[in-house]
């Protein structure tokens, strides 16, 4: 199998996807806006390149020759960053550039990492509409992300077969890789365990190697508690 391109390879999700791809024997083109800032990404099987998810031609250039692309770019690092520089159309522009650039490069599969804020809570409202569940100060970012999802949906049955995997709970930076995950729908039920970045990455690669979801957005959850505890015990033993 040929390699994949990861746009946003310098972030936590991008790094996890890159590591999982290497684990499976795939080569990775790690696309970042400033390669000099991410010299540490380079590794056997990983090529770090300059890439701009907002630029159709850049997407085409970095994606050519790959079997799939992963969109893990985020312009927002946290509340401390503020929103003075946030472009509310960022994810819409990214969706347009990806759909057009990947089609031009003849890369048919796109897996995007979603944002739990626009999943539906137990009451049927988007999580971002509940101030007790989602910080109101981050709402502009959530709205921008939601607009990007809407743009992907608007594309319908276009040339690019996309799927957005949305973590349905907290993402755990140091959580174990169990290799197990569950897909849900648009809702985020109570009591669902969090998901490690490693298991999110496994879900992404599964949908690249053996696609089961097409032109849709789904939630993705971690393994059941007993499975997770067993994975943690195995990790400690090694």
Instruction: Tell me if residue 39 falls in helix, strand or coil.
Output: helix
pLDDT cut 90: percent of the chain above it? 74
The residue extents of the domains of the chain are: 4-237
Cite the DSSP H helix spans in the chain.
12-23, 56-63, 90-105, 139-154, 197-209, 225-237
Looking at the DSSP bridge assignments, the partners of residue 196 are: 172
Mean pLDDT value of segment 15-35: 97
pLDDT of residue 170: 79
Range in 94-98, 110-114, 223-227 with the lowest mean pLDDT: 223-227
Residue pLDDT, tens place only, 108-146: 999 999 999 999 988 899 999 999 888 888 899 999 999
Tokens linked to 1: 């199998």
- Split at pLDDT 50, 70, 90, the class of 230 is low
4-237 placed in CATH 2.40.50.140: no
Tokens linked to 144: 């921008």
pLDDT of residue 82: 66
pLDDT of residue 98: 98
């Amino acid at each position: 199998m040929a390699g994949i391109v990861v746009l946003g390879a310098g972030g936590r999700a991008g790094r996890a996807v890159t590591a999982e791809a290497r684990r499976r024997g795939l080569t990775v083109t790690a696309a970042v806006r400033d390669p000099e800032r991410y010299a540490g990404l380079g590794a056997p099987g990983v090529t770090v390149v300059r890439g701009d998810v907002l630029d159709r031609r850049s997407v085409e250039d970095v994606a050519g020759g790959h079997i799939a692309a992963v969109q893990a770019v985020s312009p927002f690092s946290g509340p401390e960053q503020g929103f003075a520089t946030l472009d509310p159309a960022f994810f819409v522009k990214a969706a347009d550039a990806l759909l057009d650039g990947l089609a031009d490069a003849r890369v048919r599969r796109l897996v995007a990492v979603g944002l739990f804020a626009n999943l539906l809570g137990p009451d049927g409202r988007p999580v971002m509409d509940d101030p007790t569940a989602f910080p109101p100060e981050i709402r502009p970012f959530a709205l921008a992300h939601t607009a990007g999802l809407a743009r992907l949906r608007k594309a319908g049955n276009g040339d690019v077969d996309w799927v957005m995997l949305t973590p349905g709970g907290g993402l755990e930076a140091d959580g174990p890789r169990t290799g197990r995950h569950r897909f849900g729908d648009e809702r985020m039920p109570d009591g669902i365990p969090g998901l490690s970045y490693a298991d999110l990455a496994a879900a992404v690669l599964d949908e690249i190697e053996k696609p089961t979801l097409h032109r849709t957005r789904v939630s993705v959850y971690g393994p059941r508690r007993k499975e997770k505890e067993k994975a943690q015990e195995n990790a400690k033993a090694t």
